[in-house]
Amino acid sequence: MQVRRSLRNRVAVTLAVFGGVVSLTLAAVIYLASQDLERRLIDETLTAELDDYVVRRERNPHSLPERTATIRAFVVMPDGNSARVPKAVTELVPGRHRLLLDGIPYRAAVRSVGEQRFVVLYDVTALRRREHGFLLMLAVSVLMITVISAFAGRWLAGRAIAPVTELMRRVSERQPEEDAPPPLAAQFPWHEVQRLAADFDNYLLRLHDFIERERLFTGDVSHELRTPLAVIQGAADLLMADPDLNRKNRLRIARINRAVAEMGEISGALLALAREQDTPAAQGKDCDVAAVVEELVSRHRQLLHDKPVAVNVRVIEPPRVAADHAVLAMTIGNLLRNALTFTESGEVRITLESGAVQVEDTGQGLQTPEIQKLFSPYVRGGDSKGAGLGLSLVQRLCKRQGWQITLANRPGGGTVARLTFSSPPG
């Protein structure tokens, strides 16, 4: 099943992706910038605390280290007399450090003054919590901007492609088989849509002219073919009415009669195919399929050429179908003609069921790789001497009528052709 793609949804998705990428990039820049700013502020705070503590120690060597909720200070003595200083702090060298002390994260600044080292720690626990909250807020912002971009993009896309949608609606309402449609290009002020509408105008005009030519052609062909066929049929009937006609000539004239009838049916079927393919097939009168089959068997029996082949018609339930007699006769006639032509001995059996006709023969059968290709134009079986158009024509007639045609090899040798009508007669 092919997925239907919407231009409106594509624009919406594009804008959503663009908004998401831009907002994600902006959020990443803001987050990194905020982290750098906080680090600078903490380092400035640590520097100021170090300066203050060094000055106080110079004025009063017994001044106590700073200790607040976020600041802790230590002095590492050169003689190792730093009992109250944690070991991790005594190991710090001058500079800036990150330190985890008693499970609490700190930012540390170390400075050497003489033989002493001054250490100031800044508790960054609250800062980490603010960073996590800020990161969550940025993530939610990115998600909201992406969703808003998607909805806004869908709305904007709807507004942007509204002229194209309107053009599509108007084109779908046009009926080129009617009078020449008025031009669409002048009805749209946008240059791009005008160009597209002008192309549709040219296409619809050409289609309208083609349909007109097709109507005239089918009408002319119908008239020009049927008139000489009627003349031949009338002349043949007059000859058949001659009582002095011998048996040999009477058989020849009967053959002419059959050929004229077959030519009339072929003309009707071909004209049905020549009509516009998208229009529903014209439903003929209720045809007696059994009568058509009996007529075809009588007409095509001469194809046997005295071959030891029996032609049997088995009626399980006489089917009736609403179809043109010429189309039905041509469809079944092609199947019967193939069976009689390619069967050298044995039997050709025609089975009539409710809603189906099946033609079986005891011929050589079909090679498996060829079965699906035999319905294509100009494709013939291995021993066929025809043009390869019969089954292709049958396939097109069935498709137009809503019928189904299948070919298969018959168990024991031969071919089975089954014609299934669109629905059993009600």
Structural domain contains residue 391 = yes
Residues 145 and 232 in one domain: no
Residue 29 lies in a domain: yes
Structurally, how many domains does the chain consist of? Answer: 3
Same domain for 379 and 247?
no
Same domain, 233 and 352: no
| Dihedral (Cα; 369, 372, 376, 381), 10-degree rounding | 40
Number of residues that this document lists for the chain: 426
Q: Do 60 and 133 have their domain in common?
A: yes
Task: List the beta bridge partners of residue 74.
Answer: 119
Per DSSP, the three-state class of 275 is: coil
Higher pLDDT, 371 or 17: 17
Q: Are residues 306 and 256 located together in one domain of the fold?
A: no
3 state SS of 307? coil
Verify that 39 and 122 share a domain, yes or no.
yes
Confidence of residue 377 (pLDDT cuts 50, 70, 90): low
pLDDT tens-digit map of 7-23: 777 878 888 888 888 98
Whether residue 301 sits in one domain with residue 242: no
User: Does residue 43 sit in the same domain as residue 105?
Assistant: yes
**Mean pLDDT confidence for 38-48:** 90
Q: Is residue 132 part of a domain?
A: yes
64-68, 233-237, 262-266, 354-358: range with highest mean pLDDT: 354-358
Q: Strand 71-76's sheet: what is its strand order?
A: 71-76, 116-123, 104-113, 95-101
Residues 344 and 236 in one domain: no
Please tell me whether residues 361 and 380 are part of one structural domain: yes
Pairing of strands 346-353, 356-361: antiparallel
Q: Is residue 387 part of a domain?
A: yes
In a domain, 188, yes or no: no
Instruction: Report the pLDDT value the prediction gives residue 110, as an integer from 0 to 100.
Output: 92
- The C-alpha atoms of residue 330 and residue 389 are separated, in whole angstroms, by 13
C-alpha–C-alpha distance, residues 417 and 405, integer Å: 7
* Residue keyed to tokens 């907002």: 23
151 lies in which domain range?
A: 7-158
The reply to whether 167 falls in a domain is: no
Contacts 24+ apart (CB under 8 A), 193-202: 193/163, 193/164, 193/167, 196/164, 196/167, 197/167, 200/167, 200/171
Q: Are residues 258 and 350 in the same domain?
A: no
Percentage of residues of the chain with pLDDT beyond 70 = 85
Summarize pLDDT for 219-271 with one digit per residue, the tens.
666 667 777 888 888 888 888 888 888 888 888 888 888 788 777 777 776 67
> Which of 158, 173, 194 delimits the end of a domain?
158
- CATH number where 362 lies: 3.30.565.10
Last residue of one domain, picked from the residues 234, 269, 304: 269
Same structural domain, 391 and 301:
yes
pLDDT at 131: 87
pTM as predicted:
0.49
Domain assignment present for residue 189? The answer is: no
- Cα–chain center distance at 12: 20
Specify if 204 maps to a domain: no
